[in-house]
Amino acid sequence: MVTVSTATAVWSRDSVKGEKRDLWTAMKRGFRCRCPRCGEGKLFRAFLKVDNNCSVCGLDYTPHRADDLPAYLVIIIVGHILVPVILWIETDYAPAVWLQLSIYLPVTLIASLVLLQPVKGAVVGFQWALRMHGFDENAPSEIPPV
């Protein structure tokens, strides 16, 4: 007969060791496309490709995957800025449709492209600050996934 014993670990806020991570500072640094920990190293190696690690402090970026969230957030932000302006112009001035489309479509495209990288950086900063990444079994300070 084989007896299996399992160790029980109790996780609490005090039992988690590690650096303090300020959410807003990390998101601001990410929005500036900088490392959420040191604020110096570049976060991206290409337009939307997050680098593997920070060139200054060595922070590993690979566990942080933003997936589609930045695109959804950019749609919400750009939509909430442009739609009220478009409705206001339409109701008060009613310019020709060709004129509206020749302005709104490029403005929407440019605003979306300009915001996409900073919003993705802020999402990565958000994930890093809240320790939202995969479990590293070699790091004793990590909380295992539920």
Of the pair 57, 132, the CB lying nearest Zn ion is at: 57
Structure tokens at 96: 């020709």
Sign of the CA dihedral running 129, 132, 136, 140: positive
Q: Phi/psi of residue 6, each to 5°?
A: -120, 135
54 binds Zn ion (CB under 5 A): yes
60 beta partners: 53
26 binds Zn ion (CB under 5 A): no
86 binds Zn ion (CB under 5 A): no
- Please identify, among the stretches 15-23, 58-66, 78-86, 125-133, the one whose residues bind Zn ion according to the rule CB under 5 A: 58-66
Closest approach, Cβ 120 to Zn ion, in A, equals 17
Give the type of residue at 72: Y
Q: Can you count the helices (H) and strands (E) in the chain?
A: 3, 0
- Please identify, among the stretches 16-24, 59-67, 87-95, 133-141, the one whose residues bind Zn ion according to the rule CB under 5 A: 59-67
Residue ranges in contact with Zn ion by CB under 5 A: 35, 37-38, 41, 54, 56-57, 59
